[in-house]
A = this chain, B = another copy of it.
């Protein structure tokens, strides 16, 4: 997975094969992928297909997404890294084109990347509009000010909530139902900062302006209210440290807290 050229060509070939095998999808695959000349146009087309509504014209969204992608080439790079993350970490992801076309967690991340650029350029009302549409369509609610690194995977995606001052590093995996929430009715820096390599299990809540250290792991259903040290596994409501890990949890995707604990006992 060295260059953007590779991913785009690989996706085109995968999609051509799929279109030839499945007549019912040929129309969709031509319209969404094969008629386009690069990954950015496919992304703008697919996201506008998802986010338009009876009161927001699909061409208007398509136009604005194309322009953001042209003016922010780093978004397309991050998109490629996120596709690779899905392919490598999710055993159900058999093809590179699947996240682009079918994974709503992936699509929610890319909508946010575009939306964040709009927000930074001063188009806040539009960014709030798109946050709402993504929340309705993907069930993923990300404030447009949240900052994201690359190599991020949202597995399944449904019911993820990420607040205004949250910061995500690189190579992070979030399962569905994860909250990176704030606390209190005042503004300011009030959401979690997530280190590189972290994995957060299904339905876990991380609340307040706390730091989750590099390669930490948060068990499913946990509620985290305090900083977590690097390489540390926490679990429970409220969460407590139960072990250490030497690997990169976001890559391993191991949800088995107990197994993990056995493997990495505290000295």
Q: Which residue numbers of A lie inside 8 Å of B, CB to CB?
A: 18-19, 21-28, 30-32, 34-35, 45, 48-50, 52-60, 62, 64, 88-92, 94, 98, 101-104, 123-126, 128-129, 131-132, 135-139, 141, 143, 156-159, 161, 163-164, 175-177, 179, 181-188, 190, 201-205, 207-208, 219-223, 225-226, 235-238, 251-258
A52 and B91 CA atoms in complex are apart in Å by 27
Q: Is the CB of A138 within 8 A of B136?
A: yes
Chain B residue numbers with a CB within 8 Å of A258 are 225-226, 238
Beyond the given pairs A23-B30, A185-B253, A219-B238, 13 more chain A to chain B contacts, judged by CB atoms under 8 angstroms and listed by A's residue number, are A24-B60, A25-B126, A31-B57, A49-B55, A50-B136, A55-B57, A91-B188, A94-B124, A158-B158, A177-B179, A181-B220, A184-B254, A202-B205
Chain B residue numbers with a CB within 8 Å of A62 are 59, 62
Q: A30-B30, A256-B183 are in contact. Are A54 and B55 (CB under 8 A)?
A: no
A24 and B64 CA atoms in complex are apart in Å by 8
Q: Is the CB of B255 within 8 A of A182?
A: yes
Q: Is the CB of A179 within 8 A of B202?
A: yes
Q: Is the CB of B143 within 8 A of A182?
A: no
Q: Is the CB of B252 within 8 A of A184?
A: yes
A60 and B188 CA atoms in complex are apart in Å by 41
Q: What would be 20 A-B contacts, judged by CB atoms less than 8 Å apart?
A: A21-B125, A24-B35, A26-B31, A27-B31, A52-B54, A54-B57, A54-B58, A58-B59, A89-B185, A91-B164, A92-B163, A104-B132, A136-B139, A183-B255, A205-B220, A219-B223, A220-B237, A221-B237, A235-B238, A237-B237
Q: A90-B185, A136-B104 are in contact. Are A49 and B54 (CB under 8 A)?
A: yes
Chain B residue numbers with a CB within 8 Å of A131 are 102
Q: Is the CB of B18 within 8 A of A125?
A: yes
Chain B residue numbers with a CB within 8 Å of A24 are 35, 60, 64, 123, 126
